Chain A
Amino acid sequence: MGAPFHYTDYHPQWLRPKMSTYWWLTRRSYVAFIAREVSSVFIAWAVAFLVLLVRAIGQGEDAYGQFLVWAATAPVLAMNVVSLLFIVFHAVTWFNLAPAALVVHVGGRKLPGVLIAASNYAAFVFASALIAWLLLG
């Protein structure tokens, strides 16, 4: 206590340059990265929309009809269009990235990444067709 403060020769320094909060606006690829990150908000909205739909179905035919009327109002439509764009962007980049995350060997040879990505797209088409068929078929 009371000892005079003095500098040492090797005082730790903060070496990282301070980055702007808007660093991601400086390049297209950075903007794409942040756009993909922001898709999380729209996924949360889509889940909320789906849960509200299920709740309306549980409440009866009138509530279901009211939900469809609500879904046709401009703010909800706009939100769903924007969400769809972001989520499709998420899906496409996710499928294209799959070969980097999943390396499959068959008979001692590595399967080409195109096959892994293609199988993801095939699963997407199959899942979409199955849901559409369950609802409409």
Chain B
Amino acid sequence: MLKRHPEPLLWLLFSAGGVAGALLIPVVLVLFGLAFPLGWLVPPDYPRLHALVTHPLTRLALFVACGLSLVHAGHRLRYTLYDGLQIQHLNEVIALCCYGGALIGTLAAAYVLLTIA
């Protein structure tokens, strides 16, 4: 019987996360990380933002975007440590920490997105 490896799935998630991060994160960082705090633009008022963020579709979109981006980041960091710093002998530990971290982050995001009122 053919042994199934998780690598193709991980690369698929990495790829999807790369697209999600590239498409969605820059605009969010420009607005909430720079334009609103520095007063370049007037931030959206609270009721409008609250209604937008608590909408089920927004919650779902944020969950998918956060989860995929974190898996992407974890996967990439794993190979950075593996190839870049050449710590191949810790392969299992690094993989566990990277994917474990991504999973914990995704669960934390899910918790926040499910519990905000």
Q: Which residues of A contact B (CB under 8 A)?
A: 19, 21, 24, 34, 37-41, 43-44, 46-51, 53-55, 57-58, 61, 64, 68, 71-72, 76-77, 80-81, 83-84, 87-88, 90-91, 94-95, 101, 120, 123-124, 127-128, 131-132, 134-136
Q: Write out the residue numbers on chain A whose beta carbons fall within 8 Å of the beta carbon of B52.
A: 134-135
Contact of A94 among B19, B34, B85 (CB under 8 A): B19
The interface residues of chain A lying within 8 Å CB-to-CB of B62 are: 50, 54
A80 neighbours in B (Cβ, 8 Å): 29, 33-34
Contacting A46 at CB < 8 Å: which of B29, B75, B108?
Answer: B29
A111–B116 CA distance with the chains assembled, in angstroms? 45
Contact B22 A124 (CB under 8 A): yes
Q: By DSSP majority rule, is chain A's interface helix, strand, loop, or mixed?
A: helix
Please give me the residue from chain B that is nearest to A34 by CB atom.
Answer: B84
B:36-78 near A, CB below 8 Å = 36-38, 41, 43-44, 46, 49-50, 52-54, 62, 66, 69-70, 72-77
Residue numbers in A under 8 Å from B79 (CB-CB): 37
Q: Top 4 nearest A-B pairs by Cβ distance? A: A58-B116, A80-B33, A91-B22, A72-B37
CA distance A120 to B115 in the complex (A): 34
Q: Give the tally of cross-chain contacts (CB within 8 A).
A: 152
Instruction: Decide yes or no whether B86 CB sits under 8 A from chain A.
Output: yes
Contact A54 B77 (CB under 8 A): no
Q: Which residue on B lies nearest to A20, using beta carbons?
A: B86
CA A68 to CA B36, docked complex, whole Å: 7
Q: A54-B113, A68-B36 are in contact. Are A132 and B27 (CB under 8 A)?
A: yes
Q: With A and B bound together, what is the CA distance between A50 and B58 in angstroms?
A: 13
- Enumerate chain A residues within 8 angstroms of B113, measured Cβ to Cβ: 54
Q: Give the docked Cα–Cα distance between A91 and B109 (Å).
A: 23
Assuming the A-B contacts A40-B76, A135-B52, A136-B41, are A54 and B24 also in contact, with contact meaning beta carbons closer than 8 angstroms in the complex?
no
Could you say which residues of chain B place their CB within 8 Å of the CB of A72? 37-38
